[in-house]
Amino acid sequence: MAEHGPTQDDLKKIAAERSLEFIEDGMLFGLGTGSTIAYLIPMLGARVAEGLRVRAVPTSVRSAEAARALGIEVLDEFDGEERIALTIDGADEVDPQLRLVKGGGGALLREKIVASCSDRMIVVADANKLVDQLGKFPMPVEVITLGWKNVARRLDDLGGATTLRASADGAPYVTDEGNYILDCHFGAIDDPDRLASEIDAIVGVVEHGLFIGIADLVVVGAEDGARLVKAAAR
């Protein structure tokens, strides 16, 4: 019987395990959100049980709860005065310049705040997240609930083909900060930098899922083990 290769979950575990090497004793680090980070948290919890001392700034309530349950010290409040040494987070898409689409898990606002307060951001991902061009994955935009339909129309004018994200019960999905998320289906994004600026200019937008100039390194889970990817020259 032919052997099957590693599953996508296996690749996420490989990436998460390799990323642990970057977490040092005494470090203040940003703890991301998502399916790959869900594998990282128990691995980190085991290291903490062995004596590793770290403090985590979580990017979502669910990451905070998962970390705290495993004995990882979690900061309940973070004002940005202290620099975060490192943030480890996932991504929905990563292009060759390490521009990202994030927010599939609904935590993009906190994720971008924590990453922007960090000296370094490492992305953990399976190889399927590496793309030649961003845009296949819907790009999330977090918006104020007041007047959200007008924001949706403005995003549609940019080619976004927006849909309001819904919870499992059909009600609008509400972020940890009490906002809505509009998922924008732009298709292939030819100029991510310009699109980011155009979205930023829309009144009512809180933040968008384009992370540009933020990621420093990607730890990719692949069949032959984890590999490190740096930004390609433009």
Same-domain pairing of 120 and 58 = yes
What is the tens place of the pLDDT at every residue in 24-59? 999 999 999 999 999 999 999 999 999 999 999 999
Residue 30 lies in a domain: yes
For the chain, the distance separating the N- and C-terminal CA atoms, rounded to the nearest angstrom, is 45
High-pLDDT (> 90) share of the chain, %: 89
High-pLDDT (> 70) share of the chain, %: 98
Q: How far apart are CA 78 and CA 192, in angstroms?
A: 30
Indicate which CATH number applies to the domain containing 58.
3.40.50.1360
Which whole number is the average pLDDT over 128-146?
Answer: 96
Same-domain pairing of 123 and 187 = no
pLDDT at position 28 is 97
| Token couple for 160 | 């976004």
Which whole number is the average pLDDT over 185-196?
Answer: 96
Same-domain pairing of 78 and 119 = yes
Q: Does the pLDDT of residue 138 top 70, yes or no?
A: yes
Same-domain pairing of 188 and 118 = no
Q: Does the pLDDT of residue 5 top 90, yes or no?
A: no
Residue 61 lies in a domain: yes
Q: Does the pLDDT of residue 1 top 60, yes or no?
A: no
Q: Does the pLDDT of residue 223 top 90, yes or no?
A: no
Domain that holds residue 42: 8-130+212-225
Indicate which CATH number applies to the domain containing 176.
3.30.70.260
Residue 230 lies in a domain: no
pLDDT at position 233 is 60
Residue 60 lies in a domain: yes
Q: How many domains are contained in the chain?
A: 2
**Mean pLDDT taken over the chain:** 94
pLDDT at position 3 is 59
Same-domain pairing of 64 and 143 = no
Same-domain pairing of 120 and 156 = no
pLDDT at position 8 is 87
Same-domain pairing of 114 and 22 = yes
In Å, how far are 50, 86, 137, 178, 207 from 102, measured between CA atoms? 32, 18, 9, 18, 11
pLDDT at position 2 is 42
| Residues with a known catalytic role | 111
Are the C-beta atoms of residues 41 and 24 closer than 8 Å to each other?
no
pLDDT at position 234 is 56
Q: How confident is the model at residue 80 (pLDDT cuts 50, 70, 90)?
A: confident
Q: How far apart are CA 69 and CA 74, in angstroms?
A: 10
